[in-house]
């Protein structure tokens, strides 16, 4: 008699083994799904506890005198100017001039005086050692600035790997007899103009070398301005772009970039740049140029 069952015993046994194996696998996966996140959280907690313990241990090893020494660590800087808070705008102008010459300056407030006014100091190039400040002191002398080295907290200290010699001593021109000066020819005048142009080129090269070593908006915009005055609009365009990359909030970079584009014949692009700038800033100079370029 033929059996009506769909499976024989052997097949049923295999099916049961597969069924229980699947159940066990699902159970293991469910346990892992719960256990792994809990284990990870526990490990994170343990790691954090160990780190806190290490920090606390390290702090306890630092003596009170070492802490005091760390807080009171001093640096050396150039004292360029002593003034009062009410003259801050004048001091900031002097700061800008010194930065254009290659120094890195900052303002620091002092104590309140008996008359109610507050002290204001203009200082430059804070460094960690007295030896590092010497090149900057030489530059201040070359700029005919009365500067002296002071000792202060290291809050403003920086590490200057190479200090570029931007300012150079130039020999004073020899005085010529009056008769010789009167008899100077037009060729002498041309030679003088040529020397002046050569000197200007040398100054521009020095500025570019300085920028390569210490990028700043002031240097980039100064170089861009110089190229624009010489009608080298392509270079002016590139340097205005560099200046804008360093500080997009400053107006002159936008204006100089647009003027360079306009001078190169890219007039619609120049107008578009100014319109874009006016969406974010209220610039009278940009508005004036757009009216002129209609």
pLDDT at 175: 56
The better pLDDT of the pair 34, 272 is held by 272
Under a CB-based contact definition with an 8 Å cutoff, are residues 58 and 44 in contact? no
Question: In terms of Cα–Cα distance, which of 206, 242, 212 is closest to 224?
Answer: 242
| Helix ranges, 146-266 (H) | 178-182, 186-213, 217-229, 233-246, 251-263
Residue 183: per-residue pLDDT: 46
Assigned domain for 47 exists: no
The mean pLDDT value of the chain amounts to 75
Q: Would the pLDDT of 108 be above 80?
A: yes
Model pLDDT for residues 139-165, shown as the tens digit of each residue: 888 878 888 888 877 766 665 544 444
Is residue 58 included in any domain, yes or no? Answer: no
Can you tell me the distance from the alpha carbon of 44 to that of 59, in angstroms, rounded to the nearest whole number?
A: 22
Does residue 261 sit within a domain?
A: yes
Examine the domain organization and report whether 84 and 21 are in the same domain.
no
pLDDT of residue 171 exceeding 50: no
Spatial separation of the C-alpha atoms in residues 148 and 146, rounded to whole Å: 7
Q: Residue 217: which CATH number?
A: 1.25.40.10
**Domain assignment present for 5:** yes
- Residue 50 has a pLDDT of 58
Pair of tokens at residue 1: 């008699």
Report the alpha-carbon distance of residue 270 to residue 264 in Å, rounded: 10
pLDDT higher than 80, residue 64: no
Residue 187: inside a domain, yes or no? no
Sheet holding 148-153, edge to edge: 105-112, 118-127, 74-84, 148-153
Are the beta carbons of 104 and 158 closer than 8 angstroms? yes
Tokens at 201, concatenated: 């080129």
Taking phi over 0 as left and psi of -120 to 50 as alpha, with beta for the rest, 75 belongs to beta
Residue 53 lies in a domain: no
118-127 and 105-112 strand pairing: antiparallel
Query: What is the tens place of the pLDDT at every residue in 249-268?
Result: 889 999 999 999 999 999 99
Query: Residue 48's pLDDT is what?
Result: 67
Q: Mind spelling out the 3-state secondary structure of 47-90?
A: HHHHHHHHHHHHHHHCCHHHHHHHHCCEEEEEEEEEEEHHHHHH
Condensed to tens digits (0 to 9), the pLDDT of residues 270-282 reads 998 898 888 888 8
Does the structure show a pLDDT above 50 at 138? yes
Please work out, in degrees rounded to the nearest 5, the angle formed at the alpha carbon of residue 147 by the alpha carbons of 122 and 94: 40
Together in a domain, 139 and 89: yes
- Is residue 188 scored above 70 in pLDDT? no
Distances (CA, A) of 61 to 56, 128, 194: 9, 26, 69
At 34, the pLDDT band (50, 70, 90 cuts) reads confident
Residue 101 has pLDDT above 90, yes or no: no
Q: Is residue 168 included in any domain, yes or no?
A: no
Same domain, yes or no, for 204 and 151?
no
Is there a single domain that holds both residue 30 and residue 87?
no
The residues facing 261 across adjacent strands are: none
Task: Report pLDDT for 205.
Answer: 85
Distance CA 289, CA 244 (A): 19
Residue 223 sits in the same domain as residue 264: yes
Q: Total domain count for the chain? A: 3
Distant-in-sequence, close-in-space partners of 117: CB < 8 Å, separation ≥ 6: 84, 85, 86
The parent domain of residue 136 ranges over 72-156
Q: Which of 98-102, 165-169, 200-204, 251-255 has the lowest mean pLDDT?
A: 165-169
In a domain, residue 166? The reply is no
d(CA 216, CA 239): 11
């Amino acid at each position: 008699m033929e059996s009506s069952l769909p499976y024989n015993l052997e097949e049923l046994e295999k099916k049961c083994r597969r069924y229980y194996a699947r159940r066990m696998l699902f159970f293991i996966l469910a346990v892992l799904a719960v256990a792994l996140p809990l284990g990870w959280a526990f490990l994170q907690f343990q790691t954090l506890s160990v780190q806190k313990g290490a920090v606390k241990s390290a702090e306890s090893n630092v003596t009170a005198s070492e802490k005091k020494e760390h807080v009171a660590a001093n640096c050396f800087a150039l004292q360029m100017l002593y003034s009062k808070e009410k003259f801050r705008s004048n001091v900031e102008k002097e700061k800008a001039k010194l930065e254009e010459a290659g120094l890195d300056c900052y303002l620091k407030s002092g104590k309140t005086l008996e008359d109610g006014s507050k002290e204001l100091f203009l200082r430059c190039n804070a460094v960690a050692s007295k030896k590092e400040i010497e090149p900057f002191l030489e530059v201040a002398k070359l700029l005919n600035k009365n500067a002296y080295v002071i000792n202060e907290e290291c809050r403003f200290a920086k590490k200057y790997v190479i200090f570029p010699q931007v300012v150079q001593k130039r020999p004073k021109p020899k005085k010529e007899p009056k008769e010789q000066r009167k008899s100077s020819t037009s060729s002498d005048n041309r030679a003088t103009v040529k020397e002046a142009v050569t000197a200007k080129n040398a100054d521009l090269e020095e500025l570019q070398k300085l920028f390569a070593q210490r990028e700043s908006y002031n240097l980039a915009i100064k170089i861009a301005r110089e190229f624009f005055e010489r009608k080298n609009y392509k270079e002016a365009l590139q340097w205005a772009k560099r200046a804008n990359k360093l500080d997009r909030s400053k107006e002159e970079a936008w204006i100089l970039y647009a003027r360079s584009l306009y001078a190169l014949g890219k007039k619609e692009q120049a107008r578009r740049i100014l319109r874009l700038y006016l969406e974010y800033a209220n610039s009278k100079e940009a508005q004036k140029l757009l009216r002129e370029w209609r």
